[in-house]
Amino acid sequence: MRLFRVNFFYFVLLTSSPSLFSQSLVDELETTTPTAQRGLNDNTFTEEIVVVSKSKRIFILTNKNQSLEPGDFVTMLVGDRKIVRGLIAKSREGKSAFKVLKSYNDRAKSRLKRGMSVQLFRGDESLLTENEETKPELRINNEADLFSDNVLFEEEAPKKKTSSIKNNNLIQSSIGLIQGIDNNGDAAFYNHFALSWSYRLKEFVWFESIFGYSTAKRFPSPDISTDLFNLTVRAKYTYELPFFSYLQPYAGLQIVIANSPEAGSGPLVSAAQANRELDLVDDIGKIAPALGVTYLKRLVPSWFVTVNMGLDLISVGLAIEY
């Protein structure tokens, strides 16, 4: 009788074990895999955005499900809508680096931010039911491309060209020559000191204002000098050259004001001589177009040496941007 009980016990144990073990495994899977994270299939799960790069090309995601491995192609979804497609570049310490290769919705992509929960679909996205017109993927040539923000993706519009002069203001001091006339009415040049301020109106368009001063010695007669005040405004367009240098053709207006209180006066000056001196002072003052070109060469960041060649002024100087 005792032998029969032992055999019956083993019989029950053997016939019931498969179902018991199967049920235990199902319970374990349900416990360790929350239904909220399993999504539509085993390749869809939920993670959180930890870091977003400024370019929105690289995302650091949590890897709580331990489902993301380097080399995995992943589609990011929000509300079951495909947002971006990318590649897992690195995965360690519970976090994964996600590199965007293709964008489905640029507007939604721009709204992705730190702390947001997103759905991730790993593998062949053709299994997803959503069919949208997409743009071609970028081919990754090497590992460095995975973390380079300089890679231009085909779905993105080309970046607008920008000037390497970063600030909008330039202050310059210069010395040079300004054209005038001599006592015979012929062309002559006088030493000239000038200060200028330039402001960027658009990316490559600048406005410049100049104030300068000269002394025309022995003009309009050998024993008299004349002060020359130069006021000039210019519009410039900047062309970037190699080696951090720039060429700025310009057009503008120059006003030269002459001041000579002693001209046409004195006890020994005849009326004809006085009139001639006053006429020369009037002639050296002028309102004329300012046409020419300015060359800038960067010495160190924010500092430039300048060379100006124009109808209004020939000069060299030093400028600083701020």
User: Could you report the per-residue pLDDT of 178-213, keeping only the tens digit for each?
Assistant: 999 999 999 999 999 999 999 999 999 999 999 999
Query: Nearest 5°: phi and psi at 118?
Result: -130, 150
pLDDT of residue 315: 98
Structure confidence at residue 139 as a pLDDT band (50, 70, 90): low
Which residues neighbour 119 within 8 Å (Cβ) at sequence distance 6 or greater?
A: 39, 44, 45, 46, 76, 77, 78, 80
C-alpha dihedral, 96 to 102 to 105 to 111, nearest 10°: 30
Would you say residue 16 has pLDDT above 90?
no
Instruction: Summarize the confidence of residues 144-170 as an average pLDDT.
Output: 65
Q: How far apart are the first and last CA of the chain?
A: 104
Phi and psi of 213, rounded to 5°? -140, 140
Query: Over 60: is that where the pLDDT of 102 sits?
Result: yes
| pLDDT at site 19 | 40
Residue whose token pair is 């005849």: 270
Per cent of the chain over pLDDT 70 is 76
Cα–Cα distance list, 294 to 247, 263, 276, 308 (Å): 6, 36, 37, 4
Please give the pLDDT value at position 54. 86
More confident call, 155 vs 99: 99
Domain 37-125 falls in which CATH fold?
Elongation Factor Tu (Ef-tu); domain 3 (2.40.30)
Task: Work out the mean pLDDT of the chain and round it to a whole number.
Answer: 82
pLDDT for the residue numbered 18: 40
Query: Which pLDDT score, from 0 to 100, does residue 149 have?
Result: 53
Of 34 and 79, the one with more pLDDT: 79
CATH (one of 3.90.330.10, 3.40.50.300, 2.40.160.20, 1.10.1060.10) for 169-321: 2.40.160.20
- The residue with greater pLDDT, 48 or 266, is 48
Tokens standing for 219?
């003009």
What's the pLDDT at 294? Answer: 98
Q: Tell me the residue length of the chain.
A: 322
Q: Band of the pLDDT at 11, cuts 50, 70, 90?
A: very low
Q: In degrees to the nearest 10, what's the CA dihedral of 101, 102, 106, 112?
A: -50
Identify the residue with better confidence: 135 or 312.
312
Contact between 285 and 266 (Cβ < 8 Å) = no
Q: How far is residue 260's CA from residue 277's CA, in Å, rounded to a whole number?
A: 9
Instruction: Report, as an integer, the average pLDDT of 48-54.
Output: 91
HEC-encoded secondary structure of 8-60: HHHHHHHHHHHHHHHHHHHHHHHHHCCHHHHCCCCCEEEEEEEEECCCCCEEE
pLDDT at 88: 92
Q: Is the pLDDT of residue 30 over 80?
A: no
Report yes or no: 65 and 48 within 8 Å, Cβ to Cβ: no
DSSP 147: G
CA separation for the pair 278, 209 (Å, rounded): 29
Q: Which sequence spans correspond to the domains of the chain? A: 37-125, 169-321
Q: Which residues is 91 bridged to in the sheet?
A: 96
Its pTM surpasses 0.85: no
Better pLDDT: 132 or 280 = 280
pLDDT above 60 for 267: yes
- Predicted local confidence at residue 122, as pLDDT: 87
